A and B are shown apart, each in its own frame.
Chain A
Amino acid sequence: MLKYVGKSEKRVDGIKKVTGYVRYTDDLKLSGMLYARIKKSPYPHAKILKIDTSKAEKLSGVKVVITGKDVPIRVGLYLEDKTFLAIDKVRFIGEPVAAVAAESEEIAEEAVSLIEVDYEELSAVFSPLDGIKPDAPIIHEDLGSYKHASIILPQSGTNISNHYKIRKGDIEKGFKEADFVFENEFYVPHIQHSAIENHCAIAQADPEGKITVWAGCQSPYAVRRTLAVAFDMPLNKIRVISPAIGGGFGAKAGTTLEGIVIPLAQKANYRPVKLSFSREDVFINTFVRQGMYARIKTGVTKDGKIIAEENKFYWDGGAYTEYGVNIARAGGYASTGPYDIPNVKADSICVYTNHPVGGPYRGFGMSEIHFAIEQNLDIVAYKIGMDPAEFRKKNALKDGSSTVTGQILENVGLIQCLDKVTEDIEWDKREKKVSKIKYRGKGIACMYKAPSMPNNVGSSAIVKINEDGTVNLLVTAMDLGQGSDTVLTQIAAEVLTVPISRISIMTGDTDCTPYEWQTVASRTTYCCGNSVKRAAEDAKNQMLRLASLKFGISEEGLELKDEQIISKIYPDKKVKIADLAMGLTMPDGSGIHGPIIGRGAFIPPDVKDTDKETGQGDKPVAYWTFGVQAAEVEVDIETGEVKVLKIAAAYDAGKAINPELVCAQIEGGIVQGLGSALLEEMKIKEGKVLNPSFVDYKIPTAGDVPEIRISIIEIPEPTGPWGARGIAEPCMVPTAPAIANAVFDAIGCRINSLPITAEKVLKAIKDKMK
């Protein structure tokens, strides 16, 4: 009988957030602080001929001026293709070419305006389809010499930074045997996370040569490692503190501006240097979601079995794809969506363009590809006269199915999710024409996602038992709002039988909290949760051992219950956790063992590489999460406006450690998905972002929220803590295609690109009428 896990415990960080007490990075004011600003490139692609910083250096109040030559080392998570300041060349409008630290923001801004840069413009690339052409201008001439993870396959001499292939079965044979073959194309533009907190970083160097960085980053250890490489420093000389994060969604994964403040701090005579991005800076100088062109060719039998699929994904990776290359890979190993297809050919190609930098965005490629996959499925279903939900059910992955990489699956909850959603949205009930101008429709979309991470990365946790039996839990999994602080505390509470109020969690300090690869990939409950469970069990085992010594009873005869170790048979033989926390005092007064520190570490078991040519592998990922969403929309056929009335969602969470927090995530994911479906697009013309502000980049408000109905299925993932899987990203993935499919159901028009604006809908309606 679980006491804490599976309960909707209240957030452990709620009060400090609701009072405005929490300090995010920009709230920190350090003594002697200097303020930084960056000089940005006005060109999408140009050689830097000369940078003259002399006037800026002379301005009163300016303390440090740096350019690319001060930060020359290339870094990157999966492909080392970026520098924090441009060197020799700029590759997107807005790329930082110099930075200043000064006594005030105003002086720093003025100093930046005094920096003179001479450029020689180069031809630029604004679409991946142009980037792959043989005569395309080359954006990274040295691609062939960049260090990269073994799973990434860059093509030297081109703009292709990764080409992930799936070759499963026999695609030619599959198409030959199909009764029908359909080809469709789709497009998603760049969008942005728009977390309400803008990026900010502070760095300070101390006289011993140690650097401390404060930044609201999702992954302090990844930041530490990248900075160590960039500045050729040992890891123990860099401390990264992530104080609190005002929304992540991938925007604050990896590194963004952290590397600019360090070289400023190193020359600032031990004064801290803060770089605060404005909203416009965030739009232009931090990660955007990659754009993508998709071509899908589907071979299907007349009774609705998909037997062949060919997917081509061309990713608009932007100017640097150190992160984007893995998104392309993820798009590849998930390329057909959650369906059992015997013959698959997929090419997922990450292409450099002179656009802002593409990077991780909630879903990590899944939202982009599922927009294409799920509309494609709907088109095929419609053309062969089959109900879209039935068609999906017929082809859905289930226990025993094989994925595109040839992995045989178990514990697949997809069909249960489908059934729940079709029930909740009343799939068979359609009220098409509500009035002369308002038409309604329903659409459905499935999804799956695995945590996209290297096979061998780990999490860890430390549990300290205090003298009074309370607990300090140390992890570097970051609470971005998703509630990890609370969930991890619940896990510790469950194992240690210590109430949540007697456990304090601390995160985000690489000097004190133990290694966590990154807080991304919806991996935290699974990976760090397992680490916390192991750390708590380690502490528990130490206490059992000490109690066994104390009572002379074997460990099997003892249990941890209600904060005590107690004999299973002799209830008077009990000792409080508090009395074992500092070790065991023997009858003769001597002490043994010392303070109890529980240690836990976790790497997902048996996750292996796939074949470089065929993409085949029997366990390329730790686990898969399945989910389904359906949308009901109402279209005004005179204006084209789409209103989302209702969304039904079902996810297999394996085990919802905190059901309310799972639901809260799903609600947020749905609304974020709705934004990408109807409102959001970075309008980029010749490399220039035309709408870098909330005036013209619209995200949903309270007035846009539909009725939402959520179901949580629980088919345990055997390797997850109590069976838990991650759902943080999956909950955004199918919303846009579900809405697109609903629009088709309402008005018979396909909108093959995002966002589904009133303009596009009206044009489609008018074109159809002609």
Chain B
Amino acid sequence: MKHKISFTINGDVKEIEIEPNKTLLKMLREDLDLTGTKEGCGAGECGACTVLVDNKPVNSCLMLAVEVDGKEILTIEGISDGTNLDPIQESFLKHNAIQCGYCTPGMVMSAKALLNRNSHPTEEDVKEALSGNLCRCTGYQRIVDAVLDSAKKGGKK
């Protein structure tokens, strides 16, 4: 039996009827065509599915879609406006913190959540905040540097 839910996604209000046995991740990717959020393990270990729900980073593979009723969701598609990138994204590009790109949306969202709650993180803080996001390509240091650099600029370009 489908449930009618209503939530904000990347600033837009959305109403949808959704089966309860569908994860938030699947709803984002299949019903809303927001494929920037990825599945890497389906078990909350890799962080590729990280999105912000009410400003908190969560593994969307571990949430049911019905649980976002009344909530605000922010995905990678929502952090730039189509013309300007978010400063964190600029920083990733500047520091060459991207290789295959698959972990990148999750990393950026975790980073964004970190800087929202702690505008002056230490390197340790950054590593801890990103420890739930696995990357196999970069070796992480450039990602950490990109986040620290973005913080230094106060989230401004």
Contacts and interface: CB of A to CB of B under 8 A. Distances in A.
Direct A–B contact present (CB less than 8 angstroms): yes
Interface of A: 8, 10-11, 13-24, 26-27, 29, 193-198, 244-249, 278-279, 480-483, 660-661, 664, 667-672, 693-695, 699-703, 705, 708
A197 B43 contact: no
20 contacts: A14-B92, A18-B108, A19-B89, A20-B75, A20-B77, A21-B36, A22-B101, A26-B39, A194-B136, A196-B100, A247-B136, A481-B101, A481-B137, A482-B99, A660-B96, A669-B139, A671-B140, A693-B45, A694-B45, A705-B144
A523 B140 CA distance: 25
Nearest to B77: A20
A247 B102 contact: yes
A66 to B, nearest CB: 25
Give the residue among B46, B98, B128, B144 with the most A Cβ atoms within 10 A. B98
A279 B131 CA distance: 19
B136 A244 contact: no
Given A11-B98, A18-B104, 13 more contacts: A18-B101, A29-B33, A193-B136, A195-B100, A196-B48, A197-B100, A198-B40, A668-B99, A672-B139, A701-B127, A702-B143, A705-B144, A708-B141
B60 to A, nearest CB: 13
A18 B35 contact: no
B93 interface: yes
Contacts of A198: 39-40
A196 B93 contact: no
A671 B76 CA distance: 26
B151 interface: no
Say what secondary structure dominates the interface of chain B.
loop
Given A20-B77, A279-B42, A246 B138 contact: no
Nearest to A276: B39
B100 A703 contact: no
A14 B93 contact: yes
B115 interface: no
A671 B134 CA distance: 12
Chain B interface residue number, banded: 35 or more
Interface string B80-97: 100001000100110010
A667 B138 contact: yes
Given A667-B139, A699-B134, A279 B101 contact: no
B2 to A, nearest CB: 14
B66 interface: no
Contact of B93 (A11, A27, A701): A11
Nearest to B147: A702
Give the residue among A244, A480, A705 with the most B Cβ atoms within 10 A. A705
A279 B136 CA distance: 14
A27 B104 contact: no
A245 B101 CA distance: 9
A512 B105 CA distance: 30
B30 interface: yes
Contacts of A669: 139
Contacts, number: 161
Give the residue among B93, B130, B131, B140 with the most A Cβ atoms within 10 A. B140
Contacts of B38: 24, 26, 196-197, 246
B105 A20 contact: yes
Interface of B: 29-30, 33, 35-43, 45-46, 48, 75-77, 80, 85, 89, 92-93, 96, 98-105, 108, 126-128, 130-144
A16 B29 CA distance: 17
A664 B97 CA distance: 8
A364 B80 CA distance: 40
B140 A17 contact: no
B93 A15 contact: yes
B42 A246 contact: no
A22 B37 CA distance: 11
A664 B43 contact: no
Contacts of A22: 101
A668 B101 contact: no
A247 B75 CA distance: 22
Given A668-B139, A694-B134, A702-B144, A20 B98 contact: no
A279 B40 contact: yes
A481 B139 CA distance: 12
The 3 A-B pairs of least Cβ separation, nearest first, read A20-B36, A481-B100, A246-B102
Contact of A693 (B41, B108, B136, B143): B41
Contacts of A23: 35
B57 to A, nearest CB: 14
A26 B42 CA distance: 14
B98 A695 contact: no
B53 to A, nearest CB: 17
B43 to A, nearest CB: 6
B33 to A, nearest CB: 7
A196 B98 contact: no
Contact of B76 (A20, A26, A27): A20
B37 A196 contact: no
A24 B102 contact: yes
Contact of A279 (B43, B130, B135): B43
A483 B136 contact: no
Nearest to B103: A196
B67 to A, nearest CB: 20
Give the residue among B41, B89, B130 with the most A Cβ atoms within 10 A. B41
A10 B91 CA distance: 12
Contacts of A482: 99
Nearest to B140: A702
Contacts of B133: 701-702
